[in-house]
Structure 1
Amino acid sequence: MSSKSTRILIVEDETHLAQGLFFNLQAEGFDVEIAGDGESALSALSANGAAFDAVLLDVMLPGKDGFAVATELREQQNFVPILMLTARGRPEDVLKGFAAGADDYLAKPFDLSILMARLHGLLRRMAWHAPVAPTEQRPDEVSKFEFGGRCIDFESLELTGPEKRVHLTLMEADFLRYLVRNQGRIISRKELLEQVWRVREDTDTRAIDNFVVRLRRYIEDDPTNPTYLKTVRGVGYRFVP
């Protein structure tokens, strides 16, 4: 997966950790840059020609923290894959990161091999969403899913409706893909936490509810009275296209 053309931005204010990641990622063949704070990261990511394939984003940064950086990137329609690094690793911090637009997380301190596995996985997921020839597609996957005059394009990471076009983050696309695979079935909040967000600790499930509220803005005519993504009180949700 790694190659010299694959560019990674490390956003980390701890110099020794940033340098350690820099040299290890370079040894893996990545083209790597470092930003020491949130503002520098946003500048690097918005600079002309400075396209990155993934971002390792620390939560605790001087000035704008990682949550604010992720939120601002998504508001700017920048959907670069984000692996968020959190010092505490508490479930609520992880879920807050996902709500901000992160695609994966890793708690500090971490083993380098685990970080590399997560990074390669993130890049594979991005490649998985890239267009491929029909003969290369997995038989259990669909590149597009249409319902109610709407279309989810898992290759371009776009959702189009009668009056809108929304670019999806990897996590939003993964969430929608899980709903499509399990359409008509009641899916518990716990299942969504474990299977989509890979959070297995007992935690507040309100983050899932907030995420669903956001998706409803994309797919429903009236998000307050959903037609497609229905709440099953006390249990979870059901996607009924």
Structure 2
Amino acid sequence: MTRVLVVEDEPQLVRALEINLRARKYDVDAAGDGATALSLAAQHPPDAVLLDLGLPDMDGIQVMRTLRRWSRAPILVVSARNTSDEKVEALDAGADDYITKPFSMNELLARLRAATRRTDGPKGASSAEATGAESGVVRTGGFTLDLLAKKATRDGAAIRLTPTEWHLLEVLIRNRGRLVTQRQLLQEVWGPTYRTQSNYLRVYMAQLRRKLETDPSHPRYLVTAPGMGYRFEG
């Protein structure tokens, strides 16, 4: 059973999330502050985290950075903060998705399902088979990706990628040299209900370029076909 850690200091929202998650057969742990969340995560490692940023004892970004030292569980930020800079900061800190309050419970549950599917990975095939790279290692002139170990390095330094970023890369590498449409990427990575949400791709591709490309404004490997999709050249 999938275990979800809810980190939220609004009791009514916590109750609503607990009811909806347990009705769908999730195990739920709830914490009203950052310290309790980190303690619970250490005792009962979660399969996914729903994290508010405005906690009473510490900022949610700090909680996320601490979790990311040892956990690869997908983290979905659920916050009233809605500026682009705040979303980018959360993604940089390790968030896999960002949901702005108020939100639809059905949308949150769909995004949670998508995030846990990405972490589970493809069934019946190794990551190397899924990407067509027998060794699971992709080397370029700028960076190296170990798709089996989920390790990325650039100029010899380790780069942390989120599960969503890895999934995007795997789809692009599987189609190396070929255009992958926005619709196809959205469907494969986020699911069929997100096929028109091209803003997701723009945010995540910008993140990947900043982490991997030498010159993110003039990408060599993660190439855009304007209005159409993306292509991995390497």
Question: Is this a same-fold pair by TM over 0.5?
Answer: yes
Instruction: Name the SS for the 1:59 alignment partner.
Output: coil
Report what 1:98 is aligned to.
91
Contiguous gaps of at least 5 residues in structure 1: 217-222
| Structure 2 partner of 1:71 | 65
Whether 1:114 and 2:107 are equivalent positions in the alignment is yes
Which of residues 72, 82, 102 in structure 2 aligns to 1:89?
Answer: 82
2:206 pairs with 1:212: no
One-letter amino acid of the counterpart of residue 54, structure 1 = A
Q: CA deviation at 1:170?
A: 0.6
2:14 to 11, 18, 28: 18
Q: CA deviation at 1:40?
A: 2.0
Q: Which residue of 1 aligns with 2:162?
A: 169
The residue type equivalent to 2:49 in the other structure is V
Aligned partners of 1:86 and 1:94 also within 8 Å: no
Q: Which moved more, 1:139-148 or 1:14-23?
A: 139-148
Q: CA RMSD in A?
A: 4.1
Q: Is the 8 A contact 1:95 1:207 kept in 2?
A: no
SS in 1 for 2:77: strand
**Which residue type is aligned with residue 139 of structure 2?**
F
The 8 Å contact of residues 180 and 239 in structure 1, kept in 2 or not, is answered as yes
Q: Distance in 2 between matches of 1:173 and 1:200?
A: 18
Aligned ranges for residues 51-66 of structure 1 at < 5 Å?
A: 51-66=45-60
Pair 1:146-2:138 in alignment: yes
* Unmatched runs of 5 consecutive residues or more in structure 2: 225-229
| Alignment partner of 1:159 is 2:152 | yes
| Structure 1 residues 77 and 211: alpha-carbon distance in aligned structure 2, compared to 1, 3 A threshold | farther
* Cα deviations by residue, 1:157-204 (Å, 9 ceiling, x for unpaired): 2336895666642133134335535655899xxx7xx95897656xxx
CA distance in 1, matches of 2:198, 2:51: 22
Give yes or no for contact 2:131–2:173 (8 Å, CA) kept in 1. Answer: no
TM norm structure 2: 0.70
CA deviation string 1:120-163 (max 9, x = no partner)? 1111111125xx444x88x8744634224975343442336895
Which residue in the other structure is 2:227 paired with?
A: none
What SS does structure 1 have at the residue aligned with 2:61?
helix
Amino acid at match of 2:165: E
- Relative distance call for 1:31 and 1:206 in structure 2 (3 A) is closer
1:62 Cα deviation after fit: 1.8
